[in-house]
Structure 1
Amino acid sequence: MNAVQIITTREQLKHRMERRTTVSTVEPAVRTILDRVKQFKDAELLALTERFDGVQLQTLRVTKREIKDAYNEISPALFQALKDARERILRFHEQQKEESWRMEPEAGVYLGQQVRALTSAGIYIPGGKASYPSTVLMNAIPAKIAGVKRLVLTTPPQADGCVNASVLVAADLCGVDEIYKVGGAQAIAALAYGTESIPPVHKITGPGNAYVACAKKLVYGDVSIDMIAGPSEVCIWADEQSNLAFVAADLLAQAEHDEDASACCLVPSIEYAEALSIEIYRQLEFMDRKEIAKQSIQTNGWIAVVECDDEAIEIINDLAPEHLEIMTVDPEGRLDDIQHAGAIFLGAYSPEALGDYMAGPNHTLPTSGTAKFSSPLGVYDFMKKTSIIRYSQKALGKVSEQIIELAKTEQLNGHAQAIRVRTEEELR
């Protein structure tokens, strides 16, 4: 029995590469949540936390005492891992900083670009049954490097009313300023519109379920967001020398995220494809999240047999995968031909899991083919730019006729008059 479909024809491949489009069934409920949080603020947040998380809270904000206690709850090994990951992520993202600049391209002309950090930003971290301290690091560190003055984190409380200790420690290590026990669409509403306890922010980042994704989509425009993330995905390009166990393990690592996750592989022969399918099925039996991974592999996983490197590159660029692993003998040989991918992992010892936690580049990546026009989350996402323009009277005079001509063509005579009043002597 095959654990994953093997594709040998272009028609089969075309069918499997078609992006899944889903109609949001949660939007009416999310709109109601957004409206009610806008109207009832903290009271609604507390009511929804009791309803959805089963927790009665008196206050929403995490206290300094809770953060201090969290350090005693995690193991020394986890604390060291968080610190090491923080340093690697810091080192990489420091290279993304942008500076303001000025130029004088001609006499009397002074131009420039002012680069400023966003004043405030909010990070959403999924919680409840699971914990994602790595996502805290990946979102908070770029924001702090950018210079965001007020960085807020929201996450659902656990059954005991506390926030997961590893999340609190990660947030504290990154200098997060405020942490609130609220999740779901209601957290997005609070960050976008504000409540008595939670002042609004200018940008919201971080992953979440369908309700969170829908809420981010609906509040966009009132506040900036990072992206609307779809199911996570990996594409592995292998050859006959690629280690079967490595390839199978990386496909399953992706599949264990959730049932909608997508894991696919490009291979050189039907023999390799069949051997890989068997290895996937063998490893699947030993997974803790076996049923989730199995559903993902059987529903969304596939192995495609490609005739040559050019065909593999064509498929990759069409997919624009969130994660691309190149496990061929010469992984860098065709790197320049890869046009679209969120992150590229080169060689047998650069698995996606490395990038998720410790390599340094951000693990918040464009999904669903959006790598064709989007970038990983970075310092630049927490900054904005303002243009600076200064002309002398003489410099304006040199371009006045062209401005007036363009303004007349666009029937914006007020624009033309704004130039004439400064440059035509008889109007002074």
Structure 2
Amino acid sequence: MKIVSAQEFDLRREVEYGSPEQNAAVQQIVQRVKQEGDAALLQYTAQFDRVELTASQLRVTEEELQAAYAQVEPSFITAITLAANNIRQFHQKQKRNSWMDLQPDGSLLGQIIRPLQRVGVYVPGGKAAYPSSVLMNVIPAQVAGVPQIVMVTPPATGGTEGIDPYILVTAAEAGVTEIYRIGGAQAIAALAYGTDSIEPVDKICGPGNIYVALAKREVYGVVDIDSIAGPSEIVVLADHLANPVYVAADLLSQAEHDEMASAILVTSSQEMADAVAAEVERQLESLPRREIATASIRNYGAIIVTRDIAEGIRIVNRLAPEHLEIMVDQPMNVLGMIENAGAIFLGNYSSEPVGDYFAGPNHIIPTNGTARFSSPVDVDDFIKKSSMIYYSKEALLTNGNIIMELARHEGLEGHARAIQVRLEQEGS
């Protein structure tokens, strides 16, 4: 793992928006599904997933959901249930209420909070299947009150046996009953535009590969999306007292996600830098996903040695990482100085996987430095707000001339006259 000074490290990272060929392919897929519906969906499923389906086989049956329970260990169901409870309790605290404010002049102003009606959740296959992502997408939507939650996942997340039974069981435990065996850009298009078999949704959430990310960007505006997620990231801010074994393990916990994942240590201690570099190499030797993690560490990993922790904090804020672990002597003293980070883990025992799976906060977090202006998925992602204005006669008579002044300043005489006719009739 390369060790560099703060001055040598290039803080810029290319944001992955896909090659021209990938963008063109996604646009073609989306348009075909929009125009041809199920026929295009089935053709792409056969082409990309090598699974031949009919339209009647797209939806997972209740019998399949129940059969999946026989394939998973009871201990997994217990673990999922406990995690779901923690996630639900955390997100319950984010709920908003509608409100109204009665003014002295009799006007009533307010904001009405309503849930989205139908949300689509994408659960990826590929390098790994992620039951935890089911919980992190579904539970905030349920807490928000979304009445219809539909899940899509590639038809071979479990290899030749079909959909991974752990994904199905997690979905069932979370209360999802509408599940379709489709993946890739074609699944995103089906959720956005609908087909004969699948009703369109209002919003699409969930991570996926570059084709899924590009498809979400392509349909944004027709539907809402959570984000265009990039590769996973972790930054560990450590002083000389941190445990290098813990630091190395946490860096590798993200490096094993993807060859493009980023794992960075920022430390004020050269001794810590050397110890972590050696420990990463030692732990890599026995890591099952060693090849993936090695590529990540080689291409997107680094150890940055700073003059002091204050310089390290400035680097962290410029990186705006998805995950930030603070392993210093007094982590709470540092917390207030962190301006940009998706999720912050404090102390030696708050390892990133605690947040990924169990603690309660959402693990769908902004990447590629977008923590500068965006936030983890939460209940607010699944609501919409309507402003409410009941203006009294007294208020209009009092403020009408001011409103007309502003409208005429913008050259909108029709706006001004809509107020004027009321003042002329009601003011006399």
Any residues of structure 2 matched to 1:8-407 within 5 Å, and which? 8-10=5-7, 12-13=8-9, 15=10, 17-22=11-16, 24-25=18-19, 26-58=22-54, 59-127=57-125, 130-158=128-156, 159-160=159-160, 162-407=162-407
The answer to which of 36-45 and 240-249 deviates more is 36-45
- Compare 146-155 and 100-109 and name the one that shifted more: 100-109
Q: Is the 8 A contact 2:320 2:341 kept in 1?
A: yes
The superposition leaves residues 10-62 of structure 1 with CA deviations (integer Å, 9 ceiling, x where unpaired) of 1x12x2x1121445221100011011111211111111111111111231000
Q: What SS does the aligned partner of 1:74 have?
A: coil
Contact 1:55-1:160 at 8 Å conserved across structures? no
Deviations 1:345-394 (A, max 9, x none): 00000000110000100000001111111010011100000001001111
For residues 52-92 of structure 1, the C-alpha deviation after alignment (integer angstroms, 9 at most, x for no partner) is 11111231000000001111110011111111110110110
Query: Is contact 1:363–1:376 with CA below 8 Å preserved after alignment?
Result: yes
Return 153-162 or 102-111, whichever deviates more.
153-162
> What CA distance in whole angstroms lies between the structure 1 residues aligned with 2:426 and 2:299?
76
Q: 2-side partners of 1:283 and 1:352: how far apart?
A: 17
Closer, same or farther in 2 for the Cα pair 1:397/1:327, shift >3 Å?
same
Q: Which amino acid aligns with 1:35?
A: Q
- Contact 1:266-1:306 within 8 A present in 2 as well: yes
| 8 A Cα contact 2:62 2:177, kept in partner | no
Separation in 2, partners of 1:423, 1:79: 67
**Structure 2 residues not aligned, in runs of 5+:** none
Give the secondary structure class of the aligned counterpart of 1:102. Answer: strand
Superposed, 1:417-428 pairs within 5 Å as 417-425=417-425
Instruction: Give me the whole-angstrom Cα distance separating, in 2, the residues matched to 1:112 and 1:426.
Output: 25
Task: Pick the aligned partner of 1:6 from 3, 8, 14.
Answer: 3
Opposite residue 19 of structure 1, the aligned amino acid is: R
Give SS of 1:7's match. Answer: strand
Report the CA distance between 1:107 and its aligned residue: 1.8
SS across alignment from 1:190: helix
TM-score normalised to structure 2 length? 0.96
- TM score, norm. by length of structure 1: 0.96
Root-mean-square deviation (CA, aligned residues, Å) is 1.3
In structure 1, distance between residues paired with 2:18 and 2:111: 40
Change (3 A) 1:67 1:267: same
Find the aligned partners of 1:370 and 1:317 in 2 and give their Cα distance: 11
What does residue 415 of structure 1 align with?
Answer: 415
CA distance in 2, matches of 1:385, 1:162: 40
Aligned AA (2:13): R
- Is the partner of 2:333 in helix, strand or coil? coil
The letter for the 1-side match of 2:14 is R
1:116-158 CA deviation, whole Å, 9 max, x = no partner? 0000000000025632110000000000111111100000012
Describe the SS at the equivalent of 2:89: helix
CA drift of 1:161 comes to 5.9
- Where 1:145 maps in the other structure, the secondary structure is helix
User: Hey, what's the Cα distance between the residues in 1 that align with 2:375 and 2:128?
Assistant: 27
Q: How far off its partner does 1:426 sit?
A: 9.2
Aligned-residue offset at 1:425: 3.8
**C-alpha separation between the residues in 2 aligned to 1:24 and 1:266?**
29
Give the secondary structure class of the aligned counterpart of 1:424.
helix
Q: 2:267–2:309: 8 Å Cα contact kept in structure 1?
A: no
What is the one-letter code of the residue matched to 1:61?
R
Give the distance between the partners of 1:127 and 1:267, measured in 2 at CA.
Answer: 36
Q: Distance in 1 between matches of 2:348 and 2:426?
A: 76
1:385 and 1:177 mapped to 2: Cα distance? 27
Query: Hey, what's the Cα distance between the residues in 2 that align with 1:46 and 1:425?
Result: 63
Alignment-mate amino acid for residue 82 of structure 1: I
- What does the per-residue CA deviation read over 1:215-268, in whole Å, with 9 as the maximum and x for residues that have no partner? 000100000000011111000011111001000000011100011000001112
Shift of 1:5: 1.2
Alignment gaps of 5+ in structure 1? none
* Residue identity opposite 1:24 in structure 2: G
Secondary structure of the equivalent of 2:251? Answer: helix
* Alpha-carbon distance between aligned partners in 2 of 1:187 and 1:145, rounded to the nearest angstrom: 25
Per-residue deviation, 1:112 = 0.6
Question: How far 1:309 moved relative to its partner?
Answer: 2.2
Amino acid across the alignment from 1:399: N
